[in-house]
C-alpha cells in the first residue's frame, strides 16, 4: 500500500507503536519512516540514545521506547517530517499529538484547526495546545489536543485561513476529487518540486516519469522517488487519462540505495 499510494497501511503503523503499557506511561516518539531513506539525524540527535545507531545509513530507525522521554528533539530535526510525539497518559479521554509543521504563519495556542489523517482527509476539529518554534533552525512542532481514540489516526492539520473567523466547515472525509491538493504542495521533497510545477511539465508534454525526472530532477534525491514517484504517476494518470497501472515506471539503475565508498573499493587496486 505504501508504494502504491504513498500512505502507510495499518500493519506498518502498528509495527512502530510501543506497547500499550509503555504508551500509558507518558509521551513517546512514533517514527513513521518506512522507506529506507539514507539519513540518520534522528538517531544522532537523541540525547537519551532512544533511537538505535544506524549501522547502515539505509536502515530504518528503531526506537527504544523505554528510553524515550518524548522530548521531541528528533521530530524537529527529521528532514522527512516522519516523527510524531504522542502522549496518551493524561487519563481524561484526551491525548496530545505533536506534529512537525513547516508552514507559515504558525498557528497560535488555542487556535481551532482541522485535524487530517495520513491521506489528508478531515478527521475532527482540534485545539492547538502548544507551539514550539524549531530549535537551532529545526522544524517547529505544533501540539494538538485530541480525543484519545483519534490520536493514531490524525497526522496533520489544516490551519484556518488568516482572518477567517468562521468555524471550520469540513464535515466529512475529503476525497481527492472533492478537495484538490494545493498547487504549492511539495511532491518531491528532495528536489523541492511542487505539484504546480509537475502539472506545468505534464501540460507541456512531459508525460512519463522519466521525462519529468530528466527535466526537473524529481526522484533523483536521496529517497530515489520512493515518495514522489507514485504521486507524480498519479498526477500523470489524472491529467492524461492514462490508467495509473499503465504509467511507465522510471528507470532505476544500480546502486539503488546509498552505499559507502568502501563498498566499491573492496576489490580495487589502490596501491598505485
Residues found near ligand SF4 in the complex (CB under 6 A) = 29, 31, 33, 37, 39-42, 46, 48, 50-51, 61, 63, 68-74, 78-80, 82-83, 85
Report the nearest approach of ligand SF4 to the CB of residue 51 (Å). 5
In the complex with ligand SF4, the residue whose CB is nearer, 38 or 196, is 38
In the complex with ligand SF4, the residue whose CB is nearer, 82 or 144, is 82
Report the nearest approach of ligand SF4 to the CB of residue 203 (Å). 32
In the complex with ligand SF4, the residue whose CB is nearer, 62 or 175, is 62
Look-up of cell digits 482572518 = 163
Report the nearest approach of ligand SF4 to the CB of residue 135 (Å). 11
Report the nearest approach of ligand SF4 to the CB of residue 82 (Å). 4
Report the nearest approach of ligand SF4 to the CB of residue 46 (Å). 3
In the complex with ligand SF4, the residue whose CB is nearer, 70 or 120, is 70
Task: Tell which residue, 143, 161, 31, 46, has the closest CA to residue 90.
Answer: 143
Residues 6+ apart with CB under 8 A from 117: 123, 153, 154, 155, 156
The rounded distance, in Å, linking the Cα atoms of 90 and 107 is 23
Report the nearest approach of ligand SF4 to the CB of residue 149 (Å). 23
In the complex with ligand SF4, the residue whose CB is nearer, 82 or 212, is 82
What separation in angstroms does the CA of 43 have from each of 51, 87, 152? Answer: 5, 21, 23
In the complex with ligand SF4, the residue whose CB is nearer, 132 or 179, is 132
Range list of β-strands (E), 15-136:
28-31, 83-87, 94-100, 112-117, 122-132
Torsion from C-alpha of 101, 112, 12, 188, nearest 10 degrees: -40
Residues 6+ apart with CB under 8 A from 29: 50, 51, 63, 68, 70, 72, 74, 75, 83, 84, 85
Amino acid at each position: 500500500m505504501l508504494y502504491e499510494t504513498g500512505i502507510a497501511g495499518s500493519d506498518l503503523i502498528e509495527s512502530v507503536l510501543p506497547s500499550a503499557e509503555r504508551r500509558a506511561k507518558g509521551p513517546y516518539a512514533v517514527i513513521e519512516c518506512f522507506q529506507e531513506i539514507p539519513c540518520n539525524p534522528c538517531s544522532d540527535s537523541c540525547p537519551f540514545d532512544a533511537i538505535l545507531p544506524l549501522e547502515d545509513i539505509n536502515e530504518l530507525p528503531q526506537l527504544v521506547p523505554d528510553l524515550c522521554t518524548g522530548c521531541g528533539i528528533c521530530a524537529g530535526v527529521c528532514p522527512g517530517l516522519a516523527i510524531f510525539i504522542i502522549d496518551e497518559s493524561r487519563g481524561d479521554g484526551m491525548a496530545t499529538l505533536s506534529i512537525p509543521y513547516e508552514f507559515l504563519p504558525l498557528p497560535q495556542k488555542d487556535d481551532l484547526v482541522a485535524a487530517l489523517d495520513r491521506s489528508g482527509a478531515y478527521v475532527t476539529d482540534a485545539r492547538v495546545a502548544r507551539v514550539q518554534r524549531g530549535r537551532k533552525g529545526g522544524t517547529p512542532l505544533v501540539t494538538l489536543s485530541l480525543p484519545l481514540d483519534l490520536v493514531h489516526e490524525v497526522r496533520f492539520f489544516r490551519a484556518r485561513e488568516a482572518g477567517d473567523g468562521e468555524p471550520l466547515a469540513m464535515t466529512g472525509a475529503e476525497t481527492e476529487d472533492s478537495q484538490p491538493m494545493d498547487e504549492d504542495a511539495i511532491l518531491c521533497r528532495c528536489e523541492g518540486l511542487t505539484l504546480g510545477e509537475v502539472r506545468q511539465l505534464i501540460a507541456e508534454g512531459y508525460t512519463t516519469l522519466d521525462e519529468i525526472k530528466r527535466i526537473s530532477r524529481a526522484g533523483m534525491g536521496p529517497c530515489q522517488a520512493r515518495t514522489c514517484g507514485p504521486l507524480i504517476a498519479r498526477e500523470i494518470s489524472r491529467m492524461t487519462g492514462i490508467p495509473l497501472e499503465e504509467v511507465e515506471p522510471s528507470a532505476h539503475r544500480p546502486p539503488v540505495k546509498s552505499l559507502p565508498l568502501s563498498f566499491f573499493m573492496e576489490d580495487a587496486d589502490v596501491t598505485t
